[in-house]
Amino acid sequence: MDSDRCHRCGQRILVGLSNAGRCAAQDVRLDPEALTPLMELDALHSGRLSWTMHPTGDVFRRTAQIISRPRLPRTRVLADHACGKGEQ
């Protein structure tokens, strides 16, 4: 993942490919702020996807199973970038 700025709102974001660039990889633009379970739930309710970021920088899409699949040690949970944190 690389650090960049959103061309729309100017916030710092993380950009790169999901799934370590392997099959079914998606271009992702993520807010760099790590999410708590409640923040993740809020992001999901607002239509944003959540992602697990591993120490290597690889990101993988999470499912809505927040309780049964908590984040793993040394990983962070991030959400798709939302310009202005949903203020638009």
C-alpha span between 61 and 8 (Å, rounded): 24
What's residue 5's pLDDT? 95
What's residue 87's pLDDT? 41
What's residue 20's pLDDT? 72
Asked whether 2 and 50 are in contact (CB, 8 A), the reply is: no
59 CB burial (10 A radius; 0-12, 13-18, 19+): buried
**Helical (H) or strand (E) element with 35:** none
What's residue 83's pLDDT? 87
C-alpha span between 76 and 62 (Å, rounded): 11
Written as tens digits, the pLDDT of the chain (88 aa) is: 899 999 999 999 999 999 876 777 889 999 999 998 889 989 989 999 999 999 888 998 887 666 566 667 788 999 999 987 544 3
